[in-house]
Amino acid sequence: MKLVLASAPSCAGKAIIKKISELVGKRASEISVAIINEAYAVESGDKRWLIDELGYISRKFGGEIDFVNLLALDIKEIQARLDKADIVWCLGGSTDYLKSVIDKSGLSKLLPKLIETKVWVGSSAGSSVLGVRGSYKSNSVIYQGEVHEKQPLKYFEIVDSCIFPHIGGEFVPKNAFEICITESKENKYPVYALSDKSAIIVDGNKIYMIGKNSHKLENGEVTDKV
């Protein structure tokens, strides 16, 4: 299993491209990308961040770049197009909505095998959806205006931690890190308070962070940081 879980990969510096290349085993100029771009669809507001990230992918990777629209394609076509790519790049937006689309399309059934054969690069929601879903209280305060269902909704829990992206960024409250501390104290799972300039790397049994200004929290204490 090879995962690169970031808040905003385009902001995480040169190290993230180097790490993706290492995990794939190819130079960036040879890497092909399948983009899942569903999560933003239910969110209003300026989408320059989306345009910027797509431009970043185009500039950094020289292989074929394809969009795999989960709601437009049947599951056989989804699988065929993902199979052609070296990495699956899942963009951000509403994590709850992204989870519902992955389930509805049937991709959730393919996901365990997919992440064993491809490098999954998550951006914001594309990272959080592979972890544990944080509490409604924490999500609704940190990510004001996002769609978050009040009823319990599990994410995929492929990573047994809750991932809160954009902590310390301009679009989340200044007390977001304190909320992450409380979340880790009140629940049994570890919490990653992930800045825009870092990423969680999962390479088989190894899990670590690269970049800066990010913390792993357990029972209200910092147990790892970069």
pLDDT (0 to 100) of residue 150: 59
Summarize pLDDT for 173-202 with one digit per residue, the tens: 999 999 999 999 999 899 999 999 999 999
Find the helix packing angle between 107-117 and 75-83, rounded to 10°.
Answer: 10
Any idea which of 28-32, 94-98, 195-199, 214-218 has the lowest mean pLDDT?
94-98
Count other C-beta atoms under 10 Å from residue 145's C-beta.
11
Domain range for 178 is 2-225
pLDDT (0 to 100) of residue 12: 92
**DSSP character at residue 115:** H
Q: How many folded domains does the chain comprise?
A: 1
- CATH (domain of 186): 3.40.50.880
Q: How far apart are CA 121 and CA 83, in angstroms?
A: 15
Summarize pLDDT for 4-36 with one digit per residue, the tens: 999 999 999 999 999 999 999 999 999 999 999
Q: How far apart are CA 27 and CA 88, in angstroms?
A: 16
Q: At 153, give phi and psi (nearest 5°).
A: -140, 120
**pTM of this prediction?**
0.95
**Residues facing 200 on adjacent strands:** 5, 209
